[in-house]
A and B are shown apart, each in its own frame.
Chain A
């Protein structure tokens, strides 16, 4: 099975083209991997950098044609993109430890040879050899253990004190993998007295859990994606806090291109000799470089490139608004230069749209765009400062704040139109042909969203639910009216008012005034929504199978995508992760982390489009199979047949035979069942969080590889989306078998394509 993560189609949709770009400066000669007791890895400066054509690999920052290291992962592109002078070498030694969490799907995407998702002793050893390294102290003897050269990246900007870049993290030469908590690097200048947390060189394990969960969710929610965690490795180390308490540390192995605005900077806001080269190189690497004709051929158009990058950040910021997310600690280094998310430990979702912060000194839900503008302005300022007297000509001033605000307004309108439940393809049409209707809708949603009650909005230790109305609940529930037939406008407004669930605080007079405003804005929202839906109905050909199908699709998407992401409210999520780390510390049970991270991530994905593209896909007899993902040894997929049928398909490979019994080899404990047991097996499942359950009977069949398998087919309707959780059980023969334990509930989040979407997916497979 091939897992492709964020699909190429989706990447193309957001502007990450797969076409070849201009050549890169700098490359790395192929290294030979780890040698016993020796040092390997190298970074060179100015050799021509071949372009990576696959957009997904570019997002991961790896060159698969150049295998390196014990796991033969692709070469780390960041080393070449930034160039040797932008790294400080870190001699590191392999350490023993326990893989507390491993991202099997990401490992496969990176080219790690992993079958299934079971941790075997052999795999555990391979992971440690490939990923578990810590910095050697000056003069420290490696004791005959594997030694590699890691690379700490140099950067400047805000939020790093007087550090000169990565003070506790460094890149492996392979996989573009960054080990956080590697130890204090030579770029760490901050002292423990100044900032103990960032000075000791370690990373708390809890941060790994938070980043792991958010990485998976961010990859689903954001067009530009997010950094992701490949592994959390427990080396038995602790941070001893000054108050005497201990905090468990880990090596946190992070993937993605990890190219930051901060890489262009030196110090707080200055550029250097390297700044233009690095800026251009990063933009080229990510398909964002704009060129213009020059005297000696095409040359970088620096302001146009900057504006393109600003556009991507505007989209990310608008997507945050749409999913009700605050980053919390935007800085030059806490974001990737193309708007992809990075450094996720302060992120939070929220129930409504209060102007929350997650740390006191951070940006707020509505105010974070200003932080982003400020950091991007710092980037461009540093670039300009590096150009000296050429700056006025080659990089004339840009009003970054105005550019971002303008792009943000456009992107926000796009996001609000998508939040109505319309397909993005239809949204594009409406944005182009009915811009006034779309802008009116966006304005109506924003006016309601921004109604606040004031008060303490710090959502660090508690869930803040103080917005006056729940506007996304209105977007979530309103389309169901479309399915119930024509209702008078008065009834529609009443319905929206009910869905808005006003929560008004203050004096009686203030309450009356606020409720009157809510009433007025509810009318506006109804009219704006009706106008958008009517415009869509007039243009449905090519987007939906029929008017009825469009109404169902809108209702299903709006209900799925606008559901609050409860599991990622910062306060309870961090409490959960603290408990899990404590329990892991006591028991050493890695399953605890898997349960917490994977379950939380599965319940938090919301983007229908991204789900359609997530996981492996292939042709099957009479249709296609998409969204293939293996969870706890059980293969899941969505099947779309040419005759219109849709099934969620589950499969567990079987070994053995009728005489000796069948073995479910991919399940924990490899249970052995008789043929009668297999045939009597049932799957009790839910797609609504266990409010209701259904059951489906097992069948003996074959899996996608042609191997014998137990299969289950759950009929689903086109346009549906949900999260499947369930329990397998058998009540036959002598006894009762159940695949129990919380692992049943890790969940498979799916989206079901309609006819148009299935045809497009099939076309993509054929092409």
Chain B
């Protein structure tokens, strides 16, 4: 992962990544104990991340035609927009729950997170972690709250459906 990026190297990396993900999917399809749809979601997500990461540096490469650079910027922007809108609680739950302890049983593993008051905005929305051991809810640490705001704050506007991002939600 070093050296000056070139279009050829980016293409090579994307082809490798694609082949790798196809191999994963082919393997998953053979296994009765695997949710192929789940693997496909992860593969697609990683593929987008890989394409973005490999082509984004080319926007700064003067050797790449301006039109291509503009196209790359549009694709990278679209991928980032997709990532922002689909950011999954599961991918940040451990970070949000870091340092947290359930007030009811003392457990430190969160099963999920619940939100309420979506329309209040990111600094006022009520956020609670749901204990994996006893099911009780309590607020995360300030550090966990900060992670939530960093990763999900842009979504917290009226009309957001938190369930689509993996949160429990009381529809308020």
Contact = CB atoms under 8 A, between A and B. Distances in A.
B90 A734 contact: no
Ranked nearest first, the 8 interchain pairs of A and B with the lowest CB-CB distance are: A690-B38, A740-B20, A736-B53, A695-B91, A742-B27, A566-B32, A736-B50, A694-B90
Give the most central of A569, A646, A718, A742: most B CB within 10 Å.
Answer: A742
A745 B42 contact: no
Interface stretch (A5-13, A407-415, A514-522, A709-717): A709-717
Contacts of A361: none
Given A644-B106, A695-B90, A740-B20, 6 more contacts: A599-B31, A673-B1, A695-B92, A715-B108, A727-B42, A738-B17
B35 A730 contact: no
Nearest to B21: A740
B39 interface: yes
B158 interface: no
Interface string A188-209: 0000000000000000000000
A329 to B, nearest CB: 24
B134 interface: yes
Contacts of B33: 566-567, 603, 689
B76 interface: no
A674 interface: yes
Nearest to B133: A717
B35 A731 contact: no
Contact of A736 (B17, B109, B133): B17
Classify chain A's interface size. Answer: 35 or more
A603 B30 CA distance: 13
Contacts of B27: 595, 742, 745
A548 B110 CA distance: 17
B91 A691 contact: no
Given A740-B17, A741-B23, A745-B28, A693 B109 contact: no
B98 to A, nearest CB: 9
A741 B20 contact: yes
A731 B53 contact: yes
A548 B42 contact: no
Interface of A: 548, 552, 566-567, 569, 572, 576, 595, 599, 603, 644-646, 661, 672-674, 677, 684, 686, 688-697, 714-718, 727, 729-731, 733-738, 740-742, 744-745
17 contacts: A566-B33, A672-B2, A674-B1, A684-B91, A690-B35, A690-B36, A693-B42, A716-B109, A731-B49, A731-B52, A734-B5, A736-B52, A738-B20, A741-B20, A741-B23, A742-B24, A745-B28
A661 B3 CA distance: 12
Contacts of B24: 740-742, 744-745
Nearest to A676: B1
Interface string B117-141: 0000000000000001110000000
Given A736-B13, A738-B17, A696 B38 contact: no
Given A692-B38, A717-B132, A734-B2, A697 B95 contact: yes
A717 B107 contact: yes
A715 B97 CA distance: 10
Contacts of A694: 90-91, 93-94
A691 B41 CA distance: 10
Contacts of B46: 684, 727, 729, 738, 740
A275 B165 CA distance: 70
A712 to B, nearest CB: 10
A713 B112 CA distance: 18
Contacts of A690: 28, 34-36, 38-39, 42
A727 B20 CA distance: 11
Interface of B: 1-5, 13, 17, 20-21, 23-24, 27-28, 30-36, 38-39, 41-42, 46, 49-50, 52-54, 57, 88, 90-95, 97, 105-110, 132-134
Contact of A742 (B13, B23, B133): B23
Contacts, number: 130
Given A717-B109, A735-B53, A740-B17, A689 B2 contact: no
B54 A736 contact: yes
B22 to A, nearest CB: 10
Contact of A572 (B28, B32, B57, B90): B32
A714 B110 CA distance: 11
Contacts of B4: 734
A548 B106 CA distance: 13
Nearest to A671: B1
A692 B39 CA distance: 9
A674 B90 contact: no
B84 to A, nearest CB: 14
A737 B133 CA distance: 35
Nearest to A602: B33
Nearest to A645: B108
Chain A CB count within 10 A is highest, among B33, B34, B35, B109, for: B33
A734 B57 contact: yes
Contacts of B1: 672-674, 677, 730, 733-737
A690 B92 CA distance: 17
A692 B2 CA distance: 32
B106 A696 contact: no
A552 B131 CA distance: 13
Contacts of A595: 27
A685 B165 CA distance: 17
A735 B34 CA distance: 29
B30, B38, B46, B108 interface centre (most CB from chain A within 10 Å) = B30
A566 B28 CA distance: 14
A686 B36 CA distance: 13
A744 B34 CA distance: 13
B49 A736 contact: yes
Contacts of A552: 133
B13 A693 contact: no
B49 A693 contact: no
B31 A567 contact: yes
B24 to A, nearest CB: 6
Contacts of A684: 42, 46, 91
A364 B85 CA distance: 55
Nearest to A713: B94
A740 to B, nearest CB: 3
A576 B29 CA distance: 12
Nearest to A572: B32
A733 B2 contact: yes
Contacts of A661: 2
B126 to A, nearest CB: 23
Contacts of B57: 734-735
Contacts of A603: 31, 33
B30 A576 contact: yes
A745 to B, nearest CB: 7
B94 A695 contact: yes
A354 B93 CA distance: 43
Contacts of A744: 24
